[in-house]
Amino acid sequence: MSSYLTGSLAANLSGVIRFWGVALTVLCAGGMFAEVAFRSLPLSILQATTIVLAALPVLLRRQLPAVSLTLAIITLFGLAQADVDIYTTLPAPAVLCAYAVADRHGRRAALAAGVALLPLTLAILQIYSPHALFSVPTAQNLAWAVLPLALGVAAHERRAAMTALVERAQTAERTQEETARRRAGEERLRIARDVHDVVAHALVTINVQAGVGAYLVHNDPDEAHATLRTIKQVSGDALGDLRSTLGLLQAGEPVASQPGPPVQAVAALDDLAENLRTAGLDVTVELDPGPVPTPIGTTAYRIVQEALTNTLRHAGPTSARVSVRPVNDRLVVEVVDEGGACPGPLSTSGSGSGLRGMRERAAAVGGTLEAGPRPTGGWRVSAALPLPDRKEAL
C-alpha cells in the first residue's frame, strides 16, 4: 500500500513538473510573439520558427539544466541572426535555464556559468545591440545574466539548509528513541535482577524452613507451627515484592510510568537478618552507614540479601556477619560466613549467576565487588559502592 502511494505521488509530481515546463515554454514563446505584435514588426516563417526553437530549451531545464542553458545561448544567437528585433523578452529562456543551473548544482556551477555568460553577453551586445558598451542598458542586460544565477544559488542553499535541518531533526529523534530503548532495557535488566533476588531468597528460606518444620512436626509441634508461620510471612513478603516488581512490565505501558516496587534500604537489613535467623542462619549485623543515597542503599541491601541467600543455600545453618560502613568516599559492604558441613556447588571463581548479579549491581552504580573463599573457611563478599559528598547524600 505504501509503495503504491509513493509511486502515485511521484507520478503526480512528475506530471506537475512537466506541466510547468510546457507552460513556461509556451509563456516564453508567447511573450516573444506578443512583443513582435506589440511593436508591429514583420515576422517571417523562419523568424517564427526561430522564436519557437528559442523557447524549447526551457523544457529541458529540470532534467538537463546545463544542456538547456547551452541551447538557450545558441538559440539566442540564432534569434539575433534572424533579425528578430525584440529585446525585452529575448533573454527569457536563457534566464530561466541559468536559474535552473544554479538551483540544481549550487554556487560552483553558478560561478562557472557566470564566467561563461558574461563574455558571451558582452559579445552579443557588442554585435547586435545599438547601445554603447558603457551604458545603462548594457548594465541592465549584464544584470539579467547575473541575477538568475544569484537567485538560483539562494534557492539551492536554502533547500540544502532545510534538508540538513530535517536530517538533524531525524537524527535527534533516532538518538532519542535509541536512548529510550536503552534505558528501558536497563530498567528491565534491573527488574530481572530484583526478581531473581526476591525469588531466590524466598525459595531458599522456605526450603530450609520447610525441612526444619518437617523434622519438628512430631518432636516439637509448637516450634513447627512457628516455622510454618515464618514460611507464610516470607512467602507473603516475596509475593508482594514480585507483584510490585512485575507490575512494571505490564504490556502496553512504558516502564517509566509505572509505580516502582518497595525500596529496600540499608535500614531493612535488620529485618532481613531476623527472617534468616529463623531459618537457622545466625546473622550479626553491624550498621554505621550514615546518610546513604537511595540507589546505593538499595544496591547494598540486594547484595547482602543475595550473599546471605547463597550462604544459606550452599553452607546450610551457620553463622554470618554483615558489616556496612563508610570508608572515605565509599560505602563498604561486607558479608562473611563461617562455612558449613555441606558446601554446595558454588565455584571458587565466583562465576555463579548470583555472584554475577551482585557484580552487575555494584557496577551499575559505579562500584566494585569481590567474592571468594576465606583461607580459614567460609565465604567472603565485599563490595565498595561510591558515596557522593555527604552534603549531597539523600
**Residue 256, CB half-sphere, CA atoms under 13 Å: how many?**
7
> With 60 as the cut, is the pLDDT of residue 379 above it?
yes
Which residue has 508461620 as its cell numbers? 229
Contact predicate 123/133, CB 8 Å: no
Report how far residue 282's alpha carbon sits from residue 48's, in angstroms, rounded to the nearest whole number.
111
Higher-confidence residue of 32 and 85: namely 32
Q: Which residues contact 32 (CB under 8 A, 6 or more apart)?
A: 51, 54, 55, 84, 86, 89, 90, 92
- What's the rounded mean pLDDT across residues 286-315? 83
Strand bridging mode 319-327 / 282-287: parallel
> With 60 as the cut, is the pLDDT of residue 384 above it?
yes
- What cell numbers appear for 361 in the block? 549491581
In angstroms, the Cα distances linking 369 to 295, 346, 355, 360 are 16, 17, 9, 9
> With 50 as the cut, is the pLDDT of residue 96 above it?
yes
User: Nearest Cα to 234, choosing from 278, 300, 283?
Assistant: 278
**Residue 157, CB half-sphere, CA atoms under 13 Å: how many?**
10
Report how far residue 381's alpha carbon sits from residue 374's, in angstroms, rounded to the nearest whole number.
10
Looking at the chain, the whole-number percentage of residues with pLDDT higher than 70 is 68
> With 80 as the cut, is the pLDDT of residue 232 above it?
no
The band of 383, judged by pLDDT with boundaries at 50, 70 and 90, is very high
Contact predicate 316/205, CB 8 Å: no
Report how far residue 67's alpha carbon sits from residue 61's, in angstroms, rounded to the nearest whole number.
8
* Residue 391 pLDDT: 47
- The rounded mean pLDDT for the chain is 75
Q: Which of 34-43, 46-55, 112-121, 123-132 has the highest mean pLDDT?
A: 46-55
User: Nearest Cα to 76, choosing from 87, 65, 61?
Assistant: 87
* Residue 393 pLDDT: 44
Prediction pTM value:
0.47
Domain boundaries, the chain: 2-174, 263-394
The band of 55, judged by pLDDT with boundaries at 50, 70 and 90, is confident
> With 60 as the cut, is the pLDDT of residue 263 above it?
no
> With 70 as the cut, is the pLDDT of residue 185 above it?
yes
* Residue 25 pLDDT: 84
Higher-confidence residue of 4 and 50: namely 50
- What's the rounded mean pLDDT across residues 133-145? 70
The band of 254, judged by pLDDT with boundaries at 50, 70 and 90, is very low
Report how far residue 17's alpha carbon sits from residue 56's, in angstroms, rounded to the nearest whole number.
15
* Residue 126 pLDDT: 65
CA angle 70, 73, 75 (to 5 degrees): 110
Q: Which residues contact 256 (CB under 8 A, 6 or more apart)?
A: 183, 187
* Residue 114 pLDDT: 80
Report how far residue 77's alpha carbon sits from residue 12's, in angstroms, rounded to the nearest whole number.
36
Helices 353-364, 136-219: inter-axial angle, 10-degree rounding: 140
The band of 345, judged by pLDDT with boundaries at 50, 70 and 90, is very low
Contact predicate 365/347, CB 8 Å: no
Beta bridge partners of 285: 322
* Residue 189 pLDDT: 72
> With 70 as the cut, is the pLDDT of residue 128 above it?
no
In CATH, the number for domain 263-394 is 3.30.565.10
